[in-house]
Amino acid sequence: MSELIRRTAVELAEALRTKEVSAVEVTQAHLDRIDAVDGPVQSGVHAFLHVDHEGALARARQIDADRAAGADLGPLAGVPIGVKDVLTTKGLPTTAGSRMLEGWVPPYDATVVRSLHDAGLVVLGKTNMDEFAMGSTTEHSAYGDTRNPWDPTRIPGGSGGGSAAALAAFEAPLTIGSDTGGSIRQPAAVTGTVGVKPTYGAVSRYGLIALASSLDQAGPCARTVLDTALLHAVIAGHDPLDSTSIPADVPDVVGAAKLGASGDLTGVKVGVVKELSGEGYEPGVVARFEEALEEFRAAGAQVVELSLPNIVHALAAYYLILPSEASSNLAKFDGMRYGLRVVPEGEGVTAEAVMRATRAAGFGDEAKRRIVLGTYALSAGYYDAYYGSAQKVRTLVQRDFTAAFGDVDVLVSPTAPTVAYRLGEKLDDPLAMYAGDVATIPANLAGIPGMSLPAGLSEGLPVGLQILAPQQADDRLYRVGAALETRLNDRWGGPLLAKVPTWQGVSA
């Protein structure tokens, strides 16, 4: 297997710039890796739902031609990337992991995807995900499970497990995810990769198939903090096509990552969230988190403990707000306009009968569960008691964060309370599965940015550390994250992913 797949996006970009390698060579190396380890569903990583061999190579050839002609190319031009299947891609299937959209080929690109094309990145294909981003394990994809490259019997996280697994299996150096309650950060934690949920509105949601419109946010995923920052800079920015897009300059996330790479955090105040530790957190996760705090102190940061008292109610509020918004957003999938249509047999079939049959066949169990819950929460007589009350809790959580950031620069916690558990272990216990997002959900309720990066191993499996910053202060994530990454890599003698096991006898 080509050594190119082991290189970071920064290293690949430099090799492309100096013409050490061509974009075609880099793209082909990653396509070969995907072909070697990604399928079939029963035994492969299954990070990708669709691989665009011809389109990717054609794009790579164009980048090489542009470079030879002296064109002014972006810093990531020619670097391959995978895109979560929740973002529309013109000419490529987009299913959101659901039978409801099986075979749908969008006529337009999401703004994020258009930004990738404009920057010269090469889209390899679409990555697997829980149906309509509902799930924490990628077991709720209608097209089969994705497996964790660290242990194929375990989950890769969710809903964006495909994007994270593609990185950890060295199938792509960069991917795009989306984060509604932790779907970028939790998969990053359990696969030993880096994932960032930007400030809500900092990255356009145009073309992002909606789950919960007030919570959804696309974001960058990579294997290093600097790679993630470079991708963040490509996709962020105001978009007039998205009414929630922030009309503000993008913070200098790349400069912040380079500054943090020195390992020095003198003058930075780090807050430890008291409520996001202790009971329910595995001992190995707590141990790695405590080691990371020691690294922050050694880097010159001041570490203090803070209480966010209302954060303990965030999980309950989220699981009323999200299903309510999902119930509304998914109502359009009715078999009448696009996507799946199931027509019952018999005479005198009504529109209502078609809708009923289509939604019964097209939605999986988890989607149906959340639609029913959300419809109930929004029903007459219950709106104020459930959805309205949840929104009040959301305001209290936002106020807690505002107060905390008056005292510290960033907040930190474990990203997830456990390491990756076994596939199927919690399928019959959705409440236990939901509890795995307890540390990531508050950031979505508050609209603040968050990062997960590797903090070490517990029982041979990755542990993630989460960093949170105030709205529109995404650059703080990158400075603090890069400093911790530098210090931990020095301690480990290299990046954590150097320890990922050989996949099915195929080394990276």
Q: Is residue 19 among the annotated active site residues?
A: no
From the candidates 136, 159, 163, 452, which is the catalytic residue?
159
Cβ-proximal residues to 233 (8 Å cutoff; 6+ apart), any chain: 250, 253, 254
Strands 410-414 and 269-273, how do they pair? parallel
Q: Is residue 159 among the annotated active site residues?
A: yes
From the candidates 22, 84, 126, 204, which is the catalytic residue?
84
Q: Note down the domain range covering 182.
A: 1-310+395-499
Residue 172, in any domain of the structure: yes
pLDDT at 277: 85
Asked whether 423 and 154 are in contact (CB, 8 A), the reply is yes
Q: How many domains does the chain have?
A: 1
The label of the residue with tokens 């107060």 reads: 403
Residue 357, in any domain of the structure: no
Residue 36, in any domain of the structure: yes
pTM of the model: 0.97
pLDDT at 31: 98
Asked whether 318 and 216 are in contact (CB, 8 A), the reply is no
Q: Which amino acid is at 222?
A: A
Torsions phi, psi for 146 (to 5 deg)? -95, 145
φ/ψ bin of 381: left (φ > 0), alpha (ψ from -120 to 50), beta (otherwise) = left
Distance CA 118, CA 291 (A): 41
Asked whether 38 and 44 are in contact (CB, 8 A), the reply is yes
Q: Rg of the Cα trace of the chain?
A: 22
pLDDT at 504: 65
Q: What is the DSSP letter of 171?
A: S
Asked whether 499 and 457 are in contact (CB, 8 A), the reply is yes
From the candidates 183, 245, 324, 452, which is the catalytic residue?
183
Q: Which amino acid is at 247?
A: P
Could you give the C-alpha distances from 25 to 14, 79, 113, 462, in angstroms and in order?
Answer: 14, 11, 22, 31
Asked whether 270 and 469 are in contact (CB, 8 A), the reply is no
pLDDT at 349: 86
Residue 10, in any domain of the structure: yes
Residue 205, in any domain of the structure: yes
Question: DSSP H helical segments within 307-388, as ranges?
Answer: 314-329, 351-362, 365-378
Q: What is the DSSP letter of 506?
A: B
Residue 356, in any domain of the structure: no
* Helix, strand, coil fractions of the chain, as percent rounded to 5: 40, 15, 45
User: pLDDT truncated to tens, each residue of the chain (508 aa)?
Assistant: 689 999 999 999 999 999 999 999 999 999 999 999 998 776 799 999 999 999 999 999 999 999 999 999 999 999 999 999 999 999 999 999 999 999 999 999 999 999 999 999 999 999 999 999 999 999 999 999 999 999 999 999 999 999 999 999 999 999 999 999 999 999 999 999 999 999 999 999 999 999 999 999 999 999 999 999 999 999 999 999 999 999 999 999 999 999 999 999 999 999 999 999 888 999 999 999 999 999 999 999 999 999 999 999 999 999 999 999 999 999 999 888 878 999 998 777 899 999 999 999 999 999 999 999 999 999 888 888 899 999 999 999 999 999 999 999 999 999 999 999 999 999 999 988 999 999 999 999 999 999 999 999 999 999 999 999 999 999 999 999 999 999 999 999 999 999 998 766 566 7
pLDDT at 506: 64
Question: DSSP H helical segments within 93-221, as ranges?
Answer: 111-118, 161-168, 185-191
Which CATH number fits the domain that encloses residue 410? Answer: 3.90.1300.10
Q: What is the DSSP secondary-structure string of 42-98?
A: TTS---EEEE-HHHHHHHHHHHHHHHHTT----TTTT-EEEEETTB--TTS---TT-
The label of the residue with tokens 């922030």 reads: 246
Task: List, edge to edge, every strand of the sheet that includes 194-197.
Answer: 48-51, 122-127, 80-84, 174-178, 218-222, 194-197, 450-458, 461-468, 410-414, 269-273, 302-306
Residue (of 147, 183, 207, 140) closest to 501 by Cα position: 147
Residue 305, in any domain of the structure: yes
Q: Is residue 84 among the annotated active site residues?
A: yes
Core vs surface per residue 375-408: b (16+ CB within 10 A) or e: bebbeeeeeeebbebbbebbebbbebbeebbeeb
Residue 322, in any domain of the structure: no
Distance CA 60, CA 51 (A): 15
Q: How far is CA 310 from the centre of its chain?
A: 25
Distance CA 278, CA 478 (A): 27
